[in-house]
Structure 1
Amino acid sequence: MPYDGTFNWEPSRRWVRGVRGGTTVVDSKAPVLVWGPDHPVPAYAFPISDVSGLTGASDLTVEGETSAGVVSTYPELPDHVSIAWFRYEGTVLDHWYEEEEEIFVHPRDPYKRVDPIPSSRHVRVEIGGRVVADTRNPVLLYETGLPTRYYVPPGDVDFALLEPTDSGTRCPYKGEASYWSLREPVEGVPADVAWAYHDPIPAAAGIKDHVAFYNEFVDIIVDGVKEDRPETVFSKR
């Protein structure tokens, strides 16, 4: 895959637009996906002619408001610019679209797969010895670089053990997630241990309203066999 600790790029045929307020700032049918040496997920670079509001070497002015230091250039792509998006504190543009679908957090990596697959496996989720979910109709979500996530139909989840939180996250491959914590805390189990996508993007429609739990902190038993808890970037939550 392109991310290997060096600078890599490749053309994309997707129509990409970036909007702020009532102004379309980026409108490009010739974007370039860029993987920087210290950036494992891709960014977009655009032909300079496809971006409006460029002021100075690294500033962007939209509707009379200037955002400083949000424009990047690459020696390898002298006629292109990139607009700050991922890991930037504050809002640069309000919405990004690929074709007519809104995308979140960062551009989707064409070398990363996210496959939600219906299953008839028997999946049981236990926390602190209590069964919080038990189903024979899970959706297994296979995502490159992460453990299999088991999405449980809401009717097979014991919500009496959970309470909703105000937390929310966005994923470029699934959409916007809502979270639950345990009503009665268990040592070693963090807040927001369970989540669901109530309005996932079309490619992840199969997990709509299903509830998943962090394999890293709960016991998941699949067809009678307890799975090992994986070590991932989420293990340090």
Structure 2
Amino acid sequence: MTTPSGDPGTVPVVRRRPDPADSVIWEVSERWVRATKGDVTVVDSRRPLLVWEPGRPVPLYAFPAKDVRTDLLRKTERRAGRRHAGATVFYDLEAGDETIPAAAWTYPGEELAGHICFEWFGRDVLDHWYEEDEEIFVHPRDPYKRVDALPSTRHVQVEIEGTVVADTHAPVLLFETHLPVRYYIPRKDVRLDLFTPTDARTRCPYKGVATDYWSWAGGGDVRPDIAWSYPDPLPAASVIKDRVAFYNESVDIIVDGERQKRPVTFFSKPTR
């Protein structure tokens, strides 16, 4: 065997490693991105940057200052509720009669100089975001992320506090990069009588809007909104329609007789 250079030797085999835990990573995006507040277009950029902060599972956009309505920004001493790696300068956004505190910020150093980021995930700073002419929400779609929903005949059981709440041989396994496999189970195979419907609602840029949520009614230290369903998912994930999934982080899942280890992820703690 020879190396790519033609010299004798062996090709090293290494496992792909995660990105450095202490680095802000960025790259150029070719998507046209716009964002509005009310009837005002606050961002209109054909040269945004995608930015990944350490410890944050999803990217953000950073925009050249000339593509931002900087006349609506006011430097502030306030900081965003969510910490942003290295960010020291924050801006309030003044749009009409509304002031959104610490809505935007800049990163120090030369790499991202002259670019402005806006808070997005977890805060409704701007009303609508668009990539090209399609509205998106929650966060930018990550070009290095896939979501594959695959029908299966695996035997999947879900337990909460020792009680089997779901048992199926017809799950859909949803594989989403950097997240544990989610098992979407036909409603007829779920003991929904053991749960209480809630008014929770979440959005995903890859799957759509989950408007059906349930909390465990059996007591114990179980996070709220433990199960959810997408009644009208995006076309790419249509196979999960009306199926029920659970947070692997907070329930016990047995697949083909093998009890799965509970993963530790961004979703390990209750959201409310």
TM-score (norm 1): 0.83
Write out aligned runs for 1:64-213 (5 A). Answer: 64-74=97-107, 75=109, 76-88=111-123, 91-177=124-210, 178-185=212-219, 187-213=220-246
Shift of 1:107: 1.7
Determine what percentage of the aligned residue pairs are the same residue.
59
Separation in 1, partners of 2:236, 2:139? 16
Between stretches 206-215 and 100-109, larger displacement belongs to: 100-109
Question: Relative to 1, partners in 2 of residues 1:180 and 1:3: Cα closer, same or farther, differing over 3 Å?
Answer: farther
Q: Would you say the 8 A contact 1:3–1:35 is kept in 2? A: no
2:178 partner SS: coil
Q: Which amino acid aligns with 1:83?
A: F
Separation in 1, partners of 2:173, 2:209? 18
Question: Relative to 1, partners in 2 of residues 1:165 and 1:5: Cα closer, same or farther, differing over 3 Å?
Answer: same
1:167 partner SS: coil
Separation in 1, partners of 2:74, 2:160? 55
Q: Would you say the 8 A contact 1:31–1:45 is kept in 2? A: yes
Question: Relative to 1, partners in 2 of residues 1:61 and 1:138: Cα closer, same or farther, differing over 3 Å?
Answer: same
Q: Which amino acid aligns with 1:84?
A: E
Between stretches 8-17 and 128-137, larger displacement belongs to: 128-137
Separation in 2, partners of 1:169, 1:190? 16
1:109 partner SS: coil
Higher Rg: 2
Between stretches 217-226 and 203-212, larger displacement belongs to: 217-226
Matched, 1:223 2:256: yes
Q: How many residues align?
A: 234
For residues 108-163 of structure 1, the C-alpha deviation after alignment (integer angstroms, 9 at most, x for no partner) is 22223322212121222233444322222211011223221100122322222222
Question: Relative to 1, partners in 2 of residues 1:64 and 1:183: Cα closer, same or farther, differing over 3 Å?
Answer: closer
Shift of 1:84: 2.2
Separation in 2, partners of 1:152, 1:171? 19
Shift of 1:220: 2.2
Q: Which amino acid aligns with 2:157?
A: R
Q: Would you say the 8 A contact 2:59–2:139 is kept in 1? A: yes
Q: Which has the higher contact order (CA 8 A, sep 6+)?
A: 1
Shift of 1:236: 4.0
Shift of 1:39: 4.4
Q: Would you say the 8 A contact 1:188–1:217 is kept in 2? A: no
Separation in 2, partners of 1:65, 1:7? 31
- Listed as ranges, the gaps of 5+ residues in structure 2 are 1-17, 76-90
Shift of 1:212: 0.6
Q: Would you say the 8 A contact 1:104–1:175 is kept in 2? A: no
Separation in 2, partners of 1:152, 1:113? 21
Matched, 1:29 2:42: no
Q: Would you say the 8 A contact 1:16–1:96 is kept in 2? A: yes
For residues 77-101 of structure 1, the C-alpha deviation after alignment (integer angstroms, 9 at most, x for no partner) is 333222222354xx32112122333
The aligned residue for residue 26 of structure 2 is: 9
Q: Would you say the 8 A contact 1:54–1:60 is kept in 2? A: yes
1:96 partner SS: strand
The aligned residue for residue 54 of structure 1 is: 72
Separation in 2, partners of 1:56, 1:128? 51
Separation in 1, partners of 2:217, 2:54? 43
Q: Which amino acid aligns with 1:81?
A: I
The alignment's C-alpha RMSD in Å is: 2.6
Separation in 2, partners of 1:40, 1:157? 30
